[in-house]
Structure 1
């Protein structure tokens, strides 16, 4: 048994963790006020994965949710104290080799007062739909598969 690779990011209302396990089965996510317990079987070798995280701050376990896709398990941890930033995911400052920051979705939200639709609201919409992957809402920084490659466009002239 080994920990699943994961990446996380912080928002005003919630903290998001994505466990990067393809073709996961037997997914179990337990939300506790100060702890997250994740386990599954997955990957090409059907290995058993288990992660236990002592969280930096408290969450609301009843409002926290998760969704499994073919590529990962996405967890939304609703903060007990919205508006309080988390400098790290874990209570301890120890570096975990399986955990990294999701810089594609990281946002310095403390200076940003008018987020149009919070990530937690989008995640709640996604959970309510509970459809296939086609129903997933756009996540900040996600590329649209049908758009032209960014290197196909002409770069503007430097001034």
Structure 2
């Protein structure tokens, strides 16, 4: 009998890699986390054993990682050994398993965020500089004189 795998979503952050193993009505969920791999197993609603093994792209801190369990899924928060280093993929192998997908709802391209913010700040400063270096507004004292003379001409 072929091994069933849980559909797994993952996303990357500066300090953590997040994985969600999607198995509704799961029971007997177990997560074995080591510095280079994770083994997840549980039983699905039909009592069938589901198992995923992931060899990580890079080393993780297995002592400072957690998992959160619900009836619909098991989410793992795995602390990266080297923070602020983006992972181009979750697995060591360059081949993506069919059960593994990027969680685009939570994915954020955090690499270069500081550079992007700096560009926005510089752009905003440039706009403020342009606004503050404008010439003074025109003097409009003579408008009152023109409107008075126009009213007098209309009344005459």
Q: Could you state the TM-score of these two structures normalised by the residue count of structure 2?
A: 0.70
Runs of 4+ aligned structure 1 residues displaced above 4 Å come to none
- Which residue of 2 is the match for residue 10 of structure 1? 12
Instruction: Provide the rounded CA distance (Å) in 1 between the counterparts of 2:56 and 2:18.
Output: 12
- Which residue of 2 is the match for residue 20 of structure 1? 22
1:15 is displaced (CA, Å) by: 0.2
* Paired residues for 1:90-105 under 5 Å: 90-105=91-106
1:23 is displaced (CA, Å) by: 1.2
Instruction: Provide the rounded CA distance (Å) in 2 between the counterparts of 1:112 and 1:13.
Output: 14
Instruction: Provide the rounded CA distance (Å) in 1 between the counterparts of 2:27 and 2:86.
Output: 33
Instruction: Provide the rounded CA distance (Å) in 2 between the counterparts of 1:84 and 1:111.
Output: 11
Bigger Rg over Cα: 2
* Paired residues for 1:1-159 under 5 Å: 1-43=3-45, 45-113=46-114
Q: 1:106-156 deviations in whole A, cap 9, x for unaligned?
A: 00101224xxxxxxxxxxxxxxxxxxxxxxxxxxxxxxxxxxxxxxxxxxx
- Matched residue SS, 2:111: helix
Instruction: Provide the rounded CA distance (Å) in 1 between the counterparts of 2:26 and 2:107.
Output: 25
Q: 1:70-104 deviations in whole A, cap 9, x for unaligned?
A: 11000011000010000000000112000000001
Give ranges in structure 2 of 5+ residues lacking alignment: 115-156
- Give the root-mean-square deviation of aligned CA atoms: 0.9
Give ranges in structure 1 of 5+ residues lacking alignment: 114-159
Aligned residues: 112
Structure holding more strand per residue:
2
Q: Could you state the TM-score of these two structures normalised by the residue count of structure 1?
A: 0.68
1:3 is displaced (CA, Å) by: 0.9
